[in-house]
Structure 1
């Protein structure tokens, strides 16, 4: 990996942040629904026969084994959150790993297939549509660790590596909590976890690893709730990890960095129906319009709350309807 900052990262961290190689870090982030390569139905739960969770896991591992490798994992996933984590790894010369609901824990340079699978209850790629009986996301992830593309945590916590930075959302925290809890004591002390509202979802032995970032990060490094964890990870990698400290020392350093900062005032936003939001998108749908810019307008000018993934789907729908008209 080189040390060239992307425009995206430069905009987030500001011009004063200087890339510094720190190869004693390892960075772990979650996969994204957005991917650069669209899977065929053979690479989604549509290829599976309804069964119990254990049987589905075996089926899915066989599917991923048979699919052609499309690209390396670092190039498969898209979206701002993933880009921030990838850039954090690049500018610190750290190895990058991806937590995937479809492939397990994957090294960024591993050749992987185009696939689409989520452990969320809804969506066309949800594994829930094929499950007979109960489903447990943590057991699903544990099964994927035996898959053809996955590595074990021992690869992340390799001898000579230092702090391990993990960006998580709440669903992913639930999914990997048991595997984190099973780590050796010395590895747990090297963990630094980033994300909002995670502590109550993690076992007591893991909670101390959660870095105490809060809404004040939005003043220092503006972004959305969906990329909070990756922004916190990037800030830590650039500004906190420059000094070697233990877990408690790193937490105190984060608190000191946040102390002089005020959280931004947040406007009250109302909810909007899909029909309402589609109407607003179509009214602003001009050549070259981007989903991110229109989402910002929706939130800042219309004061309508809309989750990024939902807006992206509505944006695509509006573009398709506009082309058909």
Structure 2
């Protein structure tokens, strides 16, 4: 079932979605559902810390990387698989979806509960603004004592969505990170790239929240935001042709092909749009 086919209020939509998921056979691990740089950066940090990795999934809730999962497509980010239009028709938003989905699963406020219960664990949370929006009510459930154990990586827009009590947990990375060749990338994977820089370059996971942010500010002060090249707009058909023509040269890698479009062909194509077009080409070729 496609997200566009779901109807009703958030509870009705979530109930129908969970019925679909329950009937689907597990085909892979949760971590293997995600192929882009955001996940590869997260894996690298988790591996370096010998820590666990959980995914905030619009379709599954909070899921451990090694949990079994069906192959599904649903997101709160704009695009072909977005649940947002169905929710908007009912006068609701992503936070309502997250609340109802997890309530029906018997796991209300899963992220804040997980953090609150692990009283001796440090958490690095890397999420784009759309997912910060989805977790709005969940994050409000964090205990005051938990705020000393959590570092949040998101965009400026995402930071602005957080409650005032959570602002000190946001690591103040900005566009100057693009001036570091090793950690430059696309807007969609900015939070995860920032998290990896934090771990690898600053040992930020060993610092208190205030000291960590001081280290981040010093690191940003040493970098210069690069000039963004002017990229041209192209139709879906034109982008599909570009992906198809470069498929072999980039071995079908979605990450490499997206970098080619943005950095070499200088084509404007955001991550969610690209993923849909890439899947179309993949279905034709494979």
RMSD across aligned positions (CA):
3.0
Query: Distance in 1 between the 2:95 and 2:49 partners?
Result: 30
Q: TM-score, normalised by structure 1?
A: 0.74
Query: Distance in 2 between the 1:280 and 1:110 partners?
Result: 36
Shift of the 58–91 alpha-carbon distance from structure 1 to 2, 3 Å rule, reads: same
Structure holding more helix per residue: 2
Per-residue CA deviations over 1:133-176 (Å, capped at 9, x if unaligned) read 22221121122223559655333344453321111111101110
1:59 aligns with 2:21: no
- Say whether the 8 Å CA contact 1:272–1:305 is kept in structure 2: yes
- Say whether the 8 Å CA contact 1:64–1:148 is kept in structure 2: no
Which residue of structure 2 aligns with residue 300 of structure 1?
263
Query: Distance in 2 between the 1:159 and 1:284 partners?
Result: 46
Query: Distance in 2 between the 1:97 and 1:301 partners?
Result: 34
Q: Which runs of 4+ in 1 moved over 6 A?
A: none
Query: Distance in 2 between the 1:196 and 1:127 partners?
Result: 20
Query: Distance in 2 between the 1:68 and 1:315 partners?
Result: 25
- Say whether the 8 Å CA contact 2:11–2:101 is kept in structure 1: no
1:133 aligns with 2:96: no
Shift of the 217–309 alpha-carbon distance from structure 1 to 2, 3 Å rule, reads: same
- Say whether the 8 Å CA contact 2:153–2:171 is kept in structure 1: yes
Query: Distance in 2 between the 1:257 and 1:124 partners?
Result: 37
Query: Distance in 1 between the 2:132 and 2:19 partners?
Result: 26
| Deviation (angstroms), 1:203 | 1.2
- Say whether the 8 Å CA contact 1:278–1:318 is kept in structure 2: yes
- Equivalent of 1:99, from 35, 56, 66? 56
Shift of the 302–260 alpha-carbon distance from structure 1 to 2, 3 Å rule, reads: same
Which residue of structure 1 aligns with residue 123 of structure 2?
164
Which residue of structure 2 aligns with residue 116 of structure 1?
73
**What is the SS of the residue equivalent to 1:98?**
strand
Which residue of structure 2 aligns with residue 26 of structure 1?
none
- With 230-239 and 108-117 compared, the bigger mean Cα shift is at 108-117
Query: Distance in 2 between the 1:219 and 1:128 partners?
Result: 36
What residue ranges of structure 2 are gaps of 5+ in the alignment? Answer: none
Q: How does 1:142-291 map to 2 (within 5 A)?
A: 142-146=99-103, 148=105, 151=110, 153-197=112-156, 198-220=158-180, 221-241=183-203, 244-281=206-243, 284=246, 286=248, 289-290=251-252, 291=254
- Say whether the 8 Å CA contact 1:70–1:113 is kept in structure 2: yes
Query: Distance in 2 between the 1:168 and 1:155 partners?
Result: 16
Shift of the 297–71 alpha-carbon distance from structure 1 to 2, 3 Å rule, reads: closer
Shift of the 298–78 alpha-carbon distance from structure 1 to 2, 3 Å rule, reads: closer
1:85 aligns with 2:85: no
**What is the SS of the residue equivalent to 1:205?**
helix
Shift of the 114–264 alpha-carbon distance from structure 1 to 2, 3 Å rule, reads: same
| Deviation (angstroms), 1:237 | 2.0
Query: Distance in 1 between the 2:125 and 2:246 partners?
Result: 38
| Deviation (angstroms), 1:270 | 2.7
Per-residue CA deviations over 1:24-68 (Å, capped at 9, x if unaligned) read xxxxxxxxxxxxxxxxx4xx54785x3222222222233333433
What residue ranges of structure 1 are gaps of 5+ in the alignment? Answer: 1-40
Q: Which has the larger radius of gyration?
A: 1
